[in-house]
A and B are shown apart, each in its own frame.
Chain A
Amino acid sequence: EAPLGLYFSRDAYWEKLYVDQPAGMPLLYVHALRDVPDEVPSFRLGQHLYSAYRKRLHENNWIRIQEDTGLLYLNWSLDHSSWEKLSIRNGGFPLLTVYLQVFLLPTALREGECQWPGCARVYFSFINTSFPACGSLKPRELCFPKTGLSFRIRENRPPGTFHQFRQLPMQFLCPNISITYRLLGGENLPFRCAPDSLEVSTRWALDRERREKYELVAACTVHMGAREEEVMVPFPVTVYDEDDSAPTFLGGVDSTGATSAVVEFKRKKGTVVATLHVFDADVVPASGELLRRYTSTLLPGDAWALQTFRVEHSPNETLVKVNGSFIRATVHEYRLVLNRSLPISESHALQLAVLVNDSDFQGLGEGTLLLHFNVSVLPVSLRLPSAYSFTVSRRAHHFAQVGKVSVENCQQFTGIHVQYDLQLSSANCSALGVVTSAEDTTGILFVNDTEALRRPECTQLQYAVVATDQSTHRQAQAPLLVTMEGTYMAEEPGCPLSCAVSKRRPECEECGGLGSPTGRCEWRQGDGKGISRNFSTCSPSIKTCPDSHCDAVESSNPNICPQDCLRGSIIGGHEPGERWGIKAGFGTCNCFPEEKKCFCEPEDSQDPLCDELCRMVI
């Protein structure tokens, strides 16, 4: 926006024009307000009459303006033939609205460019009749233009006159109708309507940060002979903002003006380390410009810090209560964010400074604010519990889950990649394997050799669990003791490889399948309520399958838990899982992993049919 000394109090004005109105008739005043006290407006009209959508209709030969007062008047009567000529240029529409542009001098604006604050449009509705008889005019028409009045006044500017109530053509053509105006709701407010001049002015400079909307009411009384009638219309004034407030802290800082943050288990790139809020009572610059004009710079210092952190800024409009009403303001959120994933070995303590610059600030003092972040980056050491001990059934099938191992605080880890391994420390009874679950940084132990499980000499297995951080190769170790229990029983003949194949409870529970820790599949009875997450199904262990999550063990073989892991087609009423598998199913869901298919169908009714008749028979 160019620094232009003066501005219009509205961007559009409206007036009616009738055929054959006399030359010399005053039309309306336009008003300009000042930015500095000694400016004097000088008004100039654009050269052309335009139609809606800016089509040039004709050179303006009819309307003139008084350069100093802003009075527009008819210099030449608009007769029928001129009216018709304009109408034809406009496409022959009976309703003809045209506009003129009024500029504030000095400007170097081109004719085509009319933007508030340096230009306003004056719209004229041409009415294809002559001016009606004064007695037939309604009070509403006599008092106010058809379109509502609304004004814009800049804050912190010298007071001035911004409106004039009289409808000049009415007064000119119907001088015998007496009309008076009042401004209601203006007591103690900075507005004044002089009874003699009917001009509305501000009495002192406005401040948007105290009040940004004035909902005044303009009242007009028409005296026609003995009759008196009052008309009221809304008269809203909007105060326009300028950047006169400097940014300030909004809580979250200690006595030294800093906020502290600890980086420990969450070390992933993109982690928000700390957040500071900055308050600014202004609403300019607006959203489109804001990020360009309201800058934040991470001040140079440590090269490590500049490489490791970045600042993210998101502004948000908010409402603040001032003198009982709400006023818009802006809260800026500044987030200190990790710019890279940090290895667990890194350890630092540092202060970061961020310079916030409200570059449009025009008030007294500084428009800048320094944010301080005291950041401690703590190293993470991998620790496993002193010892693990699990039992495993000799009847367990391949991929049966035995237990979980994890380093301390692993649930909180992000950006840390730990891999778990098993080292066999006793005889060659290696029956178990471990896979790392990426989601929660735990290791899942599972049976990977059923033959070793059943060997009589293998009653106890001793392992060392080794957790290794992938980026630093740091390790932790813990002993693991696995005890075999129960006796092996041969599998029923004809059992399927996967539990999920079984469709009914009896055939499910008499067989085992891949992944079953007890050697038997388990039946989950659903609730039978439409397409439900709790559908009936047969699985190796209802603790792990189905749980809408295809875990690290389950994903290693499609036969373990196709309900969670299937990548294929599901036939019947269902809702697909977020990545794969079944999220919800209708009735019973059973699967054929080899064919990559699951079927969800309602359970066949197993209750004996019994109605009123059969009860009577019994």
Chain B
Amino acid sequence: SLASPSSLQGPELHGWRPPVDCVRANELCAAESNCSSRYRTLRQCLAGRDRNTMLANKECQAALEVLQESPLYDCRCKRGMKKELQCLQIYWSIHLGLTEGEEFYEASPYEPVTSRLSDIFRLASIFSGTGADPAVSAKSNHCLDAAKACNLNENCKKLRSSYISICNREISPTERCNRRKCHKALRQFFDRVPSEYTYRMLFCSCQDQACAERRRQTILPSCSYEDKEKPNCLDLRSVCRTDHLCRSRLADFHANCHASYQTLTGCPADNYQACLGSYAGMIGFDMTPNYVDSSPTGIVVSPWCSCRGSGNMEEECEKFLRDFTENPCLRNAIQAFGNGTEVNLSP
């Protein structure tokens, strides 16, 4: 549906009861005969091709009713956890039963991020030696410093050179690279390297074009981002939603980065860290976002899609795209990280 109210866009439901992870909830359900038989029923309901007809079926409805009271209903997953995909499959098997049609925003299956950005700022400032002469730091290339810092760390260097060499490897004159492998290597980099390294490379602040171009090149966009054709954003979203991981990362981005008019920073609960984390969490999937150009200060990020060909859904498409291109929360979070300021008030 189009346009839901701003106050509803977010994770207001997060953070009130410590959630059980879905793998564990599944074990709890399996130990109880009523729950496990209903869960089996529901999975059969969802496995059919004509999901909506199946769900209208009495038995499927009854199974859903019962499962809404089980630990499976409120369970959540953790980013990069063991069996993350299995956890998400369990989560969506219940939640897909509850959504008919396309919802604009979906609840995030991930646990809310509680750590604050200041922890990372502290580390970042150790690396860059902030407090130095401001004239010197204005001239310095933060993105280059970030790359250097990564190269000094064995793990970061190894995973960075791994994705760079995979994403740069030309297959043939018509095939620039193996996109699937490149995405996988990028996911490994962002999952396994601590965020004090990865965020510094991704969100470094720039004064000139050379620096901003380096920032844009971080994810090797000619392989991982650009494509021959620019699909429609809503079509791209549908593709993303057929994949449990992509769907979850997108829902998490919406939950943590939606523009909130009730907070100082424009972010839900003033949590920049959660927004930056869920932005980085989409790199390596169909919805991979990136900087659209190498402008040093006018930061615009977007997935590789446009709203051409939207038909009667143009407003919805533009609303979807604006969550990337004109999102004050995301923009403030990126700028605040780059400037090393916890809270940056921008109008």
Taking a contact as CB atoms under 8 Å apart, the answer to whether A95 and B173 are in contact is no
Q: Which residue of B lies closest to A242 (CB)?
A: B312
Residues of B within 8 A of A93 (CB): 12-13, 16
Smallest CB–CB gap between A316 and chain B, Å? 8
Q: Which of B301-347 contact A (CB under 8 A)?
A: 308-315
Cβ < 8 Å to A, chain B residues 217-251? 231-232, 234-235, 238
Q: Say yes or no: is A91 at the interface (Cβ < 8 Å to chain B).
A: yes
Give chain B residues whose Cβ lies under 8 Å from the Cβ of A92.
16
CA distance A284 to B56 in the complex (A): 30
A12 at the interface (CB under 8 A from B): yes
Say yes or no: B315 contacts A113, CB within 8 Å: no
Residues of chain A within 8 A (CB-CB) of B170 are: 578
Residues 89-109 of chain A, each 1 if its beta carbon lies under 8 Å from chain B, else 0: 011110101000000000000
Q: Which residues of B contact A150 (CB under 8 A)?
A: 3, 315
Collect the chain B residues with CB atoms within 8 Å of residue A51's CB: 13
Question: Which residues on A sit within 8 Å (CB–CB) of B314?
Answer: 238, 328
**Cα distance A288–B316 in the bound complex, in angstroms:** 14
Q: Does A325 contact B (CB under 8 A)?
A: no
Within the complex, what minimum Cβ distance (angstroms) separates B68 from chain A? 8
Residues on the B chain within 8 Å of A287, using CB:
231-232, 235, 308-311
Which of B82-90, B100-108, B202-210 is near enough to bind chain A?
B100-108
* Complex CA–CA separation, A54 to B309 (angstroms): 29
The tally of CB-CB contacts under 8 A between chains A and B is 105
CB distance from B242 to the nearest CB of A (A): 13
* Interface check A136, CB cutoff 8 A: no
How many residues does chain B have at the interface if contact means C-beta atoms less than 8 Å apart? 40
Q: Mark B264-275, 1 if CB is under 8 A from A, else 0.
A: 000000000000
A598 interfacial contact with B, CB 8 Å: no
Q: Is the CB of A121 within 8 A of B1?
A: yes
Give the nearest-CB partner of A212 in chain B: B314
Could you tell me if A90 and B13 are in contact, using CB atoms closer than 8 angstroms?
yes
B309 touches A116 (CB 8 A): no
Residue A53 lies at the interface, judged by CB distance under 8 Å to chain B:
yes
* Inter-subunit contact B238/A288 (CB<8 Å): yes
A residues less than 8 Å from B107 (CB atoms): 53
Of A52, A110, A286, the residue contacting B8 (CB under 8 A) is A52
B234 near A288 (CB under 8 angstroms)? yes
When the two chains form their complex, are residues B56 and A115 in contact, meaning their CB atoms are under 8 A apart? no
Distance, CA A152 to CA B316, complexed state (A): 12
Q: Point out the residues of chain B lying under 8 angstroms from A110, CB to CB.
A: 56, 100
Count, chain A residues at interface, CB 8 A: 43
CA gap between A317 and B235 in the complex, in Å: 15
**Chain A residues whose CB sits within 8 angstroms of the CB of B13 once the complex forms:** 51-53, 55, 90-91, 93
**Chain B residue contacts of A114, Cβ below 8 A:** 1
* Contact of A143 with B by CB under 8 A: no
Residues in A421-450 with C-beta less than 8 Å from chain B: none
Residue with the greatest number of chain A CB neighbours at <10 A, chosen from B235, B238, B308: B308
Q: For A52, what are the chain B residues with a Cβ–Cβ distance below 8 Å?
A: 8-10, 12-13
Instruction: Provide the residues of chain A in CB contact with B100, threshold 8 Å.
Output: 110, 112-113, 115
Instruction: Judge whether B311 and A12 touch: CB under 8 Å.
Output: no
Q: Render A589-611 as a binary contact track against B, CB cut-off 8 A, 1 for contact.
A: 00000000000000000000000
Query: Given A238-B315, A578-B170, are A288 and B2 neighbors across the interface (CB < 8 Å)?
Result: no
| CB of B47 within 8 Å of the partner chain | no
* Cβ-based interface call for B161 (8 A): no
| Interface residue B139 (Cβ < 8 Å from any Cβ of A) | no
Partner of B6, one of A147, A284, A317: A147
Identify the closest chain B residue to A96 (Cβ): B12
CB contacts (< 8 Å) of B309 on chain A: these are 283, 286-287, 290, 315-317
In whole Å, how far is A516's beta carbon from the nearest beta carbon of chain B? Answer: 30
Nearest CB on A from B178, distance (A): 16
- Chain A residues within an 8 Å CB radius of B2: 11-12, 116, 152
Q: Are B8 and A123 in contact (CB under 8 A)?
A: yes
- Taking a contact as CB atoms under 8 Å apart, the answer to whether A241 and B3 are in contact is no
Residue of B nearest to A125 (CB): B7
- Which A residues are CB-close (under 8 A) to B52? 113
Contacts of A113 in B (CB 8 A): 52, 100-101
A147/B310 in contact, CB under 8 A: no
Q: Are A317 and B5 in contact (CB under 8 A)?
A: no
CB-based contact B7/A97 at 8 Å: yes
With most chain A CB atoms within 10 A of its CB, the pick from B100, B106, B232, B312 is B312
B151 to chain A, nearest CB (A): 18
A235 within 8 A of B: no
User: Whole-angstrom distance between the alpha carbons of A367 and B91 in the complex?
Assistant: 45
- Quick one: closest B residue to A91, CB to CB? B16
| Minimum Cβ distance to chain A for residue B220 (Å) | 16
Closest to B234 in A: A288
Output the least CB separation between B175 and chain A (Å): 12
**Which residues on B sit within 8 Å (CB–CB) of A121?**
1, 4
* B-contacting residues, A280-332, CB 8 Å: 283-288, 290, 315-317, 328
The interface residues of chain B lying within 8 Å CB-to-CB of A112 are 98, 100
Would B4 and A317 count as touching, CB distance under 8 A?
Answer: no
From 1 to 47 in chain B, residues with beta carbon under 8 angstroms from any chain A beta carbon are 1-10, 12-13, 16-17
What string of 1s and 0s marks CB contacts (under 8 Å) between B104-142 and chain A? 011100000000000000000000000000000000000
A interface residue numbers (CB < 8 A to B): 11-12, 14, 51-55, 90-93, 95, 97, 110, 112-116, 121, 123, 125, 146-147, 150, 152, 238, 240-241, 283-288, 290, 315-317, 328, 578-579
Given A238-B315, A286-B311, 8 more pairs with CB closer than 8 A? A52-B8, A53-B106, A97-B7, A113-B52, A150-B315, A240-B312, A286-B232, A316-B309
- Give 22 A-B contacts (CB < 8 Å), ordered by A residue: A12-B3, A51-B13, A52-B8, A54-B103, A93-B16, A95-B7, A123-B5, A146-B5, A150-B3, A238-B315, A241-B311, A283-B310, A284-B312, A286-B234, A286-B311, A287-B235, A287-B308, A287-B311, A288-B234, A288-B238, A316-B309, A578-B173
B interface residues, Cβ below 8 angstroms from A: 1-10, 12-13, 16-17, 52, 56, 98-101, 103, 105-107, 170, 173, 231-232, 234-235, 238, 262, 308-315
